[in-house]
Amino acid sequence: MKKIRLPIIIFWLFISLSSLAQDKPAAKPPSLSGIYPSLAYVNSEGECGTGAVVPWADRLWIVTYAPHSPFGSDDKLYELTPSLQIIPRPESVGGTNANRFVHRPSGQLVIGPYFIDRRRNVRAIGQEMMPGRLTGSCMSLSDSTGKVMMGTMEQGFYEVDVHSLSVRTLSPDGNQLHREGAPTIYGTLCKGVHGKGFYSGQGVYVYTNNGEGTDEALVNPTIEAGSLSEYDGKEWKLIRRNQFTEVTGPSGIYGPVHADTDPIWSVGWDNKSLILAVRSKQRGWDFFRLPKASHAYDGAHGWNTEWPRIRDVEEWDGKNLLMTMHGMFWQFPAAFTATSSAGIRPLSAYLKVVGDFAKWNGNIVVGCDDTAKNQFLNHRSQKGDVPAPERSCSNLWFTSLSEISHLGATTADGAVWQNEHVAARQPSEPMLIGGWQHRQAWISNKGTERTAFTFEIDKKGNGTWTPLTTIEVDGGSSTQMTLKGKKAEWIRVVTDKATTATVIFTFAQEAMNDAAQRKYQQSSNDLFHGMATSSSRTSIGGKLLCTDDGTRKMEVLVENNVLSNTSSAGHYTLDQSLTLHSSNASPHTQQMRDKLTPKTSGSTVDSLSILITDDSGRRWRLPIADDYLARLASQGLTRTCREVVTERDLFNYGGTFFELPAENAGGFARIRPIASHHFRIGDYASFCGMLVMTGIDVDTTDNPHIIRSADKRSAVWAGAIDDLWKMGRLMGHGSLWRHTSVRAEERSDPFLVGFYEQKTVSLTNHSSHPVVFTIEADPNGSGEWMKCSEITVKAGKRQKLTFGNAFQARWIRVYTDTDAVATVDVSLGYRQPRQLDPLPESPSLIGRGVMITTSPYSRSNIPGGGR
């Protein structure tokens, strides 16, 4: 027995070990900040965005899109396994698709032109049968069990049999009509262009456009554009002439459970604020307003938004959904109606451009639009002719509700009226007020008569309005007030007489307490430890460019001396394994030397601050967080402007990173500061959905975000662009005037103060007579200035004004009542900006591609350096 039993035991042991080896999950590929470079996807088009991500049949399904490919492209349908193996499906037919819908009766996922059953069998409908850029799929109102409806961005509508995939064209797509001889691609059923949403319920189909197809729409973000429309089976009806995107309901991509009673939601915007629409069968459509965290998504053409979404991410016990819109993650109540509207809350601001998101494998997986080689309309002199990436590329971002609730501050602005006629006793649309500790109202009465503005609040979101306060404003005057007191969900305004008025709300949270500050600082230290600072003696720099030779890689050209940008110390390649390889001379080396030298056009540092002159000739002043970094930037020695996510720029100047909208979305007028720092960043760019930066300390080795070459001659930092929120609290300083002779009522340049927690303005009168200083504010970057403060300063005296986080306006400017000699200094944030340290006489060079960061400048020869 013993002789028999031993071989049996060995045999079963072998089988068990083999089984364990087979069951052992594959090692996950390398990642940083929730981004796996190996999962990045590309196409050969001008853009490669993520149109949809949907968990289905134990996989995550992803469809990518090109910018305008109604008849197909090399974009793919991808299948992502739980072990993070990404599989391009052979059934892929490409195109520009962002639709997704689960047809429950047949057990199929509809994503793009693909129908996928529960066994992961994929069937595709070619563009010859269904041309157009698919933007939405929904339940058929005539045959919910056997048919689905498909809508395109150019108002093509199709009915598809879910079993045979036969297609019936109900309205031809505009691209097909244009191919057949029509003068444009634009449809005529609904106002506007650039369709974004398509949904059905309550006996109607709802369709949204978020743009306008005119030349003016390419440059002016304030014109009439887009639409919200519905179709009852007989005719199309225009509901509202504004830019709308997402349209959905409580069950999202599964369609309504109770088709007659489930609410329908749509989210959009105009030049004033976000717009939230809700439909019920009894009331029809009601509208609410929410503030904007970012204006980079504006643009009357509609190109800058991608696909905002409202989706269930299996959090909050199903009571709330997650919404993305204009750079903010929002908590959205699943039971939201016009008469039960409480619970919308801002979570945090973000920088990624989001196409879709879903809960999968314990993560919230965000499909992004990262790198577009076209860069479209996003050009400006500050950026110069920086070469675009050679191939468009995007990726997934694996994150969590906790993480996306603690990114950027929820500071935001929104108007209910903006320089428009207001009827007497006609309330404005409600503006969301719940969720912020600090609320401020900016009021301008452009009429000729004194007018009473009454603010009313809806405390519980049930449509019951009670007065909060009333303020009277003279004709031709403006004022502002802090809204204190009772908690509420919504606020609206009503006037006692007809007038022309503006009412803008600004919102902010409490500043960090000491404990939160310590936690924030530790997070910053962990993420960015090892990056060279403005006081570092040595650093490793380089220029960055994403190239394409059939592989996804970033080239790094290491320079011996960042101050002169002359000799090269080596050429390196960063690949998807997050390995930095030494490489031979590249055909791109000369291009990188010539085209990647930072530009100084349109931006400089004078004795007052950072001075910007935009491409329209407008002047703007930005605060300086680090004097030394500001001087490097003004000399063209560090990168200051580059597109890192599609259709907006990342601006880094004087120790602060900013989000900079494209000029067609407001440009510098709508700039948003992200974080202040003391890091000597040479260059930065996008790679496989990641942010990559140069300017690394020579010896640091204990930060996984620092990637070094084997020979130690090259190094980069890599992570997510939204890591920047943790780089440092906002701070800065500057001046509007410095012992300047000014004329009476001569306005200073605008100075950025928005988003900073603490603001101090010092007014010095160097004249021999009293001077009245008037401070004006532009609350939202729209160019409408309102009086903020008026202070009389005696001859030879100085007065200081301090504003806390409750005061939020994007820009301030100053003027005096008489000719005067004056100084106006501004200090922002709770930390003092780093001043210039004593510097050695001249830079020196050492080998190994390492750059000495000591400056050739001294305090005496830096303009304004003695401040």
The identity of residue 209, as a single letter, is: N
Query: Could you count the other beta carbons within 10 Å of the beta carbon of residue 744?
Result: 12
**How far is the C-alpha of 273 from the C-alpha of 500, rounded, in Å?**
18
Domain assignment present for 1: no
Q: Count CA atoms within 13 Å of residue 151 on its CB side.
A: 28
Query: What values do phi and psi take at 772, rounded to 5?
Result: -95, 115
- Per-residue confidence band for 305, with pLDDT thresholds at 50, 70 and 90: very high
Tell whether 292 and 154 lie within a shared domain. yes
First to last CA, the chain: 94
Residue 16, pLDDT score: 41
> What distance in Å separates the CA atoms of residue 206 and residue 344, rounded to the nearest whole number?
23
Candidates 243, 325, 383, 270; CA nearest to 668 is 383
- pLDDT score of 51 more than 80: yes
Q: What is the H or E stretch that residue 581 is in?
A: strand 580-583
Q: CA-CA-CA-CA torsion for 123, 128, 131, 133, nearest 10 degrees?
A: 50
Burial class (CB in 10 A: 0-12, 13-18, 19+), 561: middle
pLDDT (tens digit, 9 = 90+) per residue, 399-423?
999 999 999 999 999 999 999 999 9
Is a pLDDT exceeding 60 seen at residue 268? yes
Measured CA to CA, the distance from residue 671 to residue 555 in angstroms comes to: 30
Contact 60, 76 (CB under 8 A): no
- Cβ neighbours, 10 Å, residue 520: 16
Q: Phi and psi at residue 9, in whole multiples of 5°?
A: -60, -45
- To the nearest 10°, the Cα dihedral for 327, 654, 562, 659? 10
Q: Cα–Cα distance between 541 and 191 in angstroms, integer?
A: 51
Q: 271 and 207 in one domain?
A: yes
Please indicate, yes or no, whether residues 586 and 455 belong to a single structural domain of this protein. no
CB-CB neighbours of 41 under 10 Å: 25
Beta bridge partners of 174: none
Residue-wise pLDDT tens digits, 349-393:
999 999 999 999 999 999 999 999 998 999 999 998 898 899 999
Mean pLDDT of all residues in 140-162? 98
Is residue 584 located within the same domain as residue 725?
Answer: yes
Question: Is residue 316 located within the same domain as residue 236?
Answer: yes
CATH of the domain at 369: 2.130.10.10
- Rounded distance between C-alpha atoms, residue 859 and residue 836, angstroms: 8
Higher per-residue pLDDT: 470 or 11: 470
Give a yes or no: residue 630 inside a domain.
Answer: yes
pLDDT, the chain, mean: 91
Q: What are the tens digits of pLDDT across the range 591-644? A: 898 899 998 999 999 999 999 999 999 999 999 999 999 999 999 999 999 999
Report how far residue 133's alpha carbon sits from residue 24's, in angstroms, rounded to the nearest whole number: 41
Domain match, 359 and 501 both: no
- Listed in sequence order, the residues at least 6 apart from 152 whose beta carbon sits closer than 8 Å to its beta carbon are 70, 131, 132, 133, 134, 135, 173, 174, 175, 195
Q: Is 857 helix (H, G, I), strand (E, B) or coil?
A: coil
Strand partners, 573: 555, 581
Chain centroid to CA 11: how far?
59
DSSP helix/strand/coil, 493? strand
What tokens does 657 get? Answer: 């990173």
Show Cβ contacts of residue 529 under 8 Å, excluding neighbours closer than 6 positions: 700, 702, 703
Q: Residue 781 in contact with residue 789, Cβ under 8 Å?
A: no
Residues 611 and 469 in one domain: no
9 pLDDT higher than 60: no
| Local confidence band at 830 (pLDDT 50, 70, 90 cut-offs) | confident
Residue 404 host element (H or E): helix 401-404
Please state the rounded mean pLDDT for residues 656-683: 97
Q: What is the pLDDT of residue 845?
A: 23
pLDDT at position 516 is 74
Domain C-terminal end among 477, 508, 539: 508
Q: Of 352, 751, 291, which is closest to residue 509 (Cα–Cα)? A: 291
Same domain, 497 and 566: no
Residue 186 vs residues 165, 227, 522, 830, 852: alpha-carbon distances, Å:
27, 13, 52, 52, 57
Secondary structure (3-state) at 834: strand
Asked whether residue 718 is assigned to any structural domain, the reply reads: yes
Contact 446, 501 (CB under 8 A): yes
pLDDT value for 701: 74
Structure tokens at 345: 């809350």
Strand ranges in 119-262 using DSSP code E only, listed in sequence order: 122-124, 134-139, 147-152, 157-161, 167-171, 193-201, 204-211, 227-231, 236-240, 243-248
Measured between alpha carbons, how far is residue 812 from residues 650, 704, 759 in Å? 23, 41, 11
User: CA nearest 328: which of 293, 356, 304?
Assistant: 293
pTM score of the predicted model: 0.93
Residues 6+ apart with CB under 8 A from 547: 389, 390, 553, 554, 555, 586, 588
Give the per-residue pLDDT at 844.
Answer: 27
Q: Whose CA is closest to 211, among 198, 224, 230? A: 224
Whether residue 409 is contained in a domain is answered as: no
Query: Whole domain around residue 699: which residue ranges?
Result: 515-729+841-860
452 is a domain residue: yes
Q: Quote the tokens at residue 240.
A: 């509202």
CATH code assigned at 429: 2.60.120.230
Residues 272 and 188 in one domain: yes
726: CB partners within 8 A, 6+ apart: 520, 523, 524, 527, 528, 675
Q: What percent of the chain has pLDDT over 90?
A: 84
Q: What is the pLDDT of residue 584?
A: 77
Instruction: Write out pLDDT tens, residues 533-567.
Output: 998 888 899 999 998 877 789 999 997 544 334 44
Q: Which residues contact 250 (CB under 8 A, 6 or more apart)?
A: 256, 257, 262, 263, 321, 334, 335
Task: With cut-offs at 50, 70 and 90, classify the pLDDT of residue 835.
Answer: very low
Between CA 294 and CA 486 the distance in angstroms is 27
| 205-228 mean pLDDT | 98
Residue 24 has pLDDT above 70, yes or no: no
Cβ atoms of 352 and 329 within 8 Å: the answer is no
When pLDDT is averaged across residues 727-740 and rounded to a whole number, the result is: 97
Q: Is 550 left (phi over 0), alpha (psi -120 to 50) or beta?
A: left
Determine the pLDDT at residue 512. 73
Residue 347 has pLDDT above 90, yes or no: yes
**What's the rounded mean pLDDT across residues 237-260?**
97
What is the bridge-based pairing of β-strands 568-574 and 552-559? Answer: antiparallel
Are 225 and 236 in the same domain? yes
The reply to whether 819 falls in a domain is yes
Q: Looking at the structure, tell me whether residues 177 and 274 fall in a common domain.
A: yes
Q: Would you tell me how many other CB atoms lie within 10 Å of the CB of residue 292? A: 23
Give CA separation, 574 vs 10, 550, 570, 708, in Å.
Answer: 47, 14, 13, 10
Q: Is residue 26 a part of any domain in this protein?
A: no
Q: Which residues contact 369 (CB under 8 A, 6 or more apart)?
A: 47, 49, 50, 306, 353, 354, 355, 394, 645, 646
pLDDT at 519 (0 to 100)? 74
Q: Measured between alpha carbons, how far is 231 from 247 in angstroms, rounded to an integer?
A: 14
Query: Residues 325-334: what's their mean pLDDT?
Result: 98
How far apart are alpha carbons 465 and 458 in whole angstroms? Answer: 5
CA atoms within 13 A on the CB side of 213: 16
Rg of the chain, C-alpha, whole Å: 28
Instruction: Look at residue 700 in the predicted model and tell me its pLDDT.
Output: 74
Kindly compute the dihedral angle of the four CA atoms of residues 481, 485, 489, 491, in this order, to the nearest 10 degrees. -30
- 202 and 111 assigned to the same domain: yes
Q: Please compute the mean of the pLDDT values over residues 513-541 and round it to a whole number.
A: 83
Q: Is the pLDDT of residue 842 over 70?
A: no
- Helix spans in 484-598 (H): 514-528, 589-595
Write down the H helix ranges in 706-856. Answer: none
| Distance (Å, whole) CA 813 – CA 511 | 24
Q: Yes or no: say if 717 and 697 are a contact pair by the CB < 8 Å rule.
A: no
Residue 381 falls inside a structural domain:
no
DSSP 58-83: TEEEEEEE-SS-TT--S--EEEE-TT
Q: Order of strands, edge to edge, in the sheet holding 49-56? A: 49-56, 59-65, 77-80, 86-88
Domain end, chosen from 451, 484, 508, is at 508
The mean-pLDDT minimum among 172-186, 422-436, 698-712 falls in 698-712
Number of domains in the chain: 4
Nearest to 695 by CA among 851, 806, 574: 851
Spatial separation of the C-alpha atoms in residues 445 and 451, rounded to whole Å:
7
